[in-house]
Amino acid sequence: MHVSAIIAAGGRGARFGGSQPKQLLMLGGVPILKRTVDAFLRGYPFIEVIVAVPAELAASPPDYLDDVIVVEGGARRQDSVANAFRAAAPSAQVVVIHDAARPLVTASLIERTVDAAFEHGAAIAALQATDTVKRGDASRVIRGTLPRDEIFLAQTPQAFRTGVLRDALALAASASDATDEAMLAEQAGHHVRLVDGDPRNLKITTPEDLEMAERLIGARGSAPAMRIGNGYDLHRLVAGRPLILGGITIPFDKGLQGHSDADAVCHAITDALLGAASAGDIGRHFPDTDPAWKDADSIVLLQRAAQIVSRAGYAIANLDVVVIAQQPRLVPHIDAIRHSVARALGIDVQQVSVKGKTNEGVDSMGAGESIAVHAVALLQHS
C-alpha cells in the first residue's frame, strides 16, 4: 500500500491569539508542529509526509522538517491541502490529511483510518456524541433535540483514495464554507466512512486547549528510561546468492534467499529496534510486497529503523545478536560485522555484541539449509 500524508499547518491560529502561529508554540517543551510531524514519521510507513506551512516558514523551515516535503500553504485550509496534494507522489493510493494542531494523534488511530479508506474510499476519525444534543437558534433558544446516536464530532486524520480526494478538491474553489475535506467529498457524491476517534486527539484552538494538552501529556507519565526489543529472522540458504550478514559479504558457496539482500542480522536488529520503540516491525515499514525493497541493501533499512528510534526519543544503549549457522564458520567475520553494524547505527562498536552458534546438527540450521538470527536491543530515553 502506498500512502502519503498531508499535515495542514498553513493557518495563522487567529482564534488562539498571539504573535506567532499556534502550531509553532511549545507543548511539553516541544513545538506543536514537531510533535505532529513526529507522530506521522514514526506512526505509519508513509511513502512521504507533506507539510503545508505559512509562506515565511516554507522559505526557511526548521530543522525538524528536514525529513518531510514542505510546501507553502494557502489562504484557506482547502487551498493548503490542494497545494500539498499537487506535491504528492503519483504512486500514492491513499492520502491521509491531518491537522497540525492535533499533536496527540496515535499510531493506532492513523492506521485504522487508513485501513477504512482503502476499503471504503474515504474515512474520517470521529467521536460519537455522548451528551444530549440540542439545536438552538441565534438567540440561544432550543429549537429541537437531535438523536445523539446520529451525531458524530469530526476529527482528523481523514483519509481518502486519491481519486476521491481529487474529486473533493475540485470543488474547493467554489466551496467557501467547507470546514474539512470530508465535507467536500460528500458534496462530490462520495460516501465517507466513520471510524472511532480518540477523545485525547485534542485540537488545540485556544490557550485552554493547550493547557489541557499539557495535562494529557503529563497524565501519560514520563517515558520509561529503558526499553527492550526482541528481533528474529530466518532465511533459507540457496545457491547463486551472496551471503551477507550485518552488511559484510562472507565467502561461501550459498547465500540467503529473500526479497531484499536477505541480511538476517540487519533484519533481526531492525525488528528489535522497532519493537523496543513500539514502532511496528520490519514488514510494516519495508513490506516484501513493495518492489522498492527488491534486492535492497539491508544496512539502509537498519539506518532507517535507527532514525525512527531517534524520532521516538530514544538512543541505542546496546545490541546483543546471536547468529545460528552450522556453516560457514563465522568467528573470522564477527568483528567486521560488529564494526559494520555500529557504523550504520552511529554507535560505538563496544555497544554491539555478535555471537556465532551452531545448531548441533538439529533442524534446518543444523543441516546447513538455513541461518537464523536472534537480536535484543536496549534503548534509553534520550
Q: Tell me the residue type at 167.
A: D
Stretch 212-217: mean pLDDT, rounded?
Answer: 86
> Which grid coordinates are listed for 190?
462520495
Predicted confidence at residue 17, as pLDDT, reads: 59
> Is the Cβ–Cβ distance between 238 and 254 less than 8 Å?
yes
Higher pLDDT, 256 or 291: 256
DSSP-assigned states of every residue in 112-172: HHHHHHHHHSEEEEEEE--S-EEEE-TTS-EEEEE-GGG-EEEEEEEEEEHHHHHHHHHTG
Residue 301 to residue 222: CA distance in whole angstroms: 29
Does the CA dihedral 326-329-335-338 come out positive or negative?
Answer: negative
Kind and range of the H or E run holding 53: strand 48-53
Q: Is 186 strand, coil or helix?
A: helix
Higher pLDDT, 381 or 79: 79
Higher pLDDT, 237 or 42: 237
In tens, the pLDDT along 239-259 reads 999 999 999 999 999 999 988
> Is the Cβ–Cβ distance between 63 and 38 less than 8 Å?
no
> Which grid coordinates are listed for 191?
460516501
In tens, the pLDDT along 23-81 reads 888 888 888 999 999 999 987 899 999 999 999 999 999 989 999 999 999 888 889 99
Kind and range of the H or E run holding 336: helix 334-345
Predicted confidence at residue 343, as pLDDT, reads: 94
> Is the Cβ–Cβ distance between 172 and 78 less than 8 Å?
yes
Q: Is 233 strand, coil or helix?
A: strand
Q: Is 13 strand, coil or helix?
A: coil
The full set of domains in the chain, from first to last, is 3-220 (3.90.550.10), 226-381 (3.30.1330.50)
Peptide bond into 157 cis (omega under 30): yes
In tens, the pLDDT along 155-184 reads 999 999 999 999 999 987 776 677 899 999
Predicted confidence at residue 225, as pLDDT, reads: 67
Q: Is 348 strand, coil or helix?
A: coil
What separation in angstroms does the CA of 208 have from each of 153, 193, 211? 19, 31, 5
